[in-house]
Amino acid sequence: MVVAVARIDAATGKTELASARVAVQSAAAERPRADALVRDRFVARRFNGRDNVLSGLSAVVAEGAAGLAFQSAEWIEHALAIIQHRGIGEPVLIRIDDTVTGELVLAMPLVVGRRRGLTFAEGIDASVADYCAPLVGHGMPTDVDAVAGAIWSAFSGALGDVDVIALDKIPEAVVGKATALAAHPLARDSKFRGNRLEIADTVDAFVALRGKRYRKEAERCRRRLEEMGTVRFRRMASAAEAEAAYRQLETWQRERHLDAGHVYCLDEPDIRHFYLDLALAHLDTGFVSIFELAVDDVPIAILYGTEHQGTFTLLRIADAGGVWKPVSPGRMVVLEMMRYEVARDVRSIDMGIGDYPFKRWIGCEPYRLVDLVVARSIKGRPYVALDRLKSWARRHEQLRRAFQQIKRFSQGRAGKSGGSEPRDGDGQDES
């Protein structure tokens, strides 16, 4: 940017602005050219169909793209079975490259389909993905804010005649790299938050850093478990073991949610098959793990998760409850999973979306997710306007509920005594 500075001649008293004016005019003439260069810097290509999407994802990973498990070829291959079964739409992959450096900027798997008379482009969620994020390449500029508009223009342009682009639960960064899509001016806070933790040293050191109360609670639960019998933690190694553990996990989760009166969808046939088929297909590769915590060979907690590019993501967890609840089996299986992963030098643990007590207890740091809904046609504008109105109403309802909770807490605080960490929902997660 050129700043015009007036200089006053001491002899004549005249202000010399001529050179500054010329500089400003020159800059103004150059600005459209610079904007055009940024606009033309990024080129997007669209790949249609299952096979092209999967091969495209494998290609960008081979080029060093950073991504989440939910957008990996391993995950997408199984999620597309749900997409096909439900007739949601056609899978596509948008790939953006930097024409200056020739490097990959980002790649985004999507599904394009019609409903309500409109054509939507959405993330491949299929009711099983926690996050919607692009795979980010080495070509993603460090000055993301300066080029986010040009990247979006290339991205949306490659989608053609869609009426609405609707992306939700977008992280601002993937493995430390900005996603660019989250920088769109219409992006708004999601109703969800991600949850993660980093283990710098050993798990015991991590527990100690959480404070005396946390450490003593973990030690108490472990000690009581050992008093009950021989404690065993293991990763399911065979298909038979994995299927038996998954069925038990499923039973515990279903019972807990139905008893609580929740709407429960994880037992729908295509979703059940998704998780089981994914586990059986990738037990040997390490992409999926099913862990079991048992006492005297009696399972008391089961955890299902995925490991991808140095991050373990917890997907499902449940415990036996009942007589085991006082020893917090859900918390204990998480700590054992952390020890297992750290031993393999995996130190980033993502606990997924959902605000559950055991996630706060374990020390998760919540992080921001955004939703982005953009109209690409006149037909799509009413839908987007209604969506924003619903979002506004939801935010105000959340504020009202938060205020009521604070009020109830302040009114009931007197006379409350300290106790152990809350156990409601311990090890119970619907993610």
What the block records as the tokens of 254 is: 């279903």
Query: In whole angstroms, what is the distance from residue 230 CA to residue 81 CA?
Result: 41
Examine the domain organization and report whether 307 and 215 are in the same domain: yes
According to DSSP H, which parts of 159-238 are helical? 203-209, 212-228
Average pLDDT for 157-161: 94
Examine the domain organization and report whether 226 and 348 are in the same domain: yes
Residue 412 domain flag = no
Examine the domain organization and report whether 26 and 57 are in the same domain: no
> What 3-state DSSP class applies to 10?
coil
Give the pLDDT confidence of 307-327 residue by residue, as tens digits. 999 999 999 999 999 999 999
Q: How confident is the model at residue 256 (pLDDT cuts 50, 70, 90)?
A: confident
Amino acid identity at 206: F
Burial grade of 23 (CB within 10 A; 0-12, 13-18, 19 or more) = middle
Give the pLDDT confidence of 341-375 residue by residue, as tens digits. 999 999 999 999 988 888 888 889 999 999 999 99
Residue 249 domain flag = yes
Torsion of CA 9, 12, 13, 19, to 10 degrees: -40
Examine the domain organization and report whether 147 and 82 are in the same domain: yes
Host domain of residue 4: 1-30
Final residue of a structural domain among 185, 214, 244: 185
| pLDDT of 225 over the 90 cut | yes
What is the per-residue pLDDT for 411? 56
Give the count of domains, the chain: 3
Give bridge partners of residue 188 from the DSSP assignment: 371
What is the per-residue pLDDT for 427? 43
Residue 394 domain flag = no
Residue 428 domain flag = no
| pLDDT of 421 over the 90 cut | no
Examine the domain organization and report whether 239 and 322 are in the same domain: yes
> What 3-state DSSP class applies to 178?
strand
Residue 384 domain flag = no
pTM of the complete model: 0.82
Average pLDDT for 139-152: 94
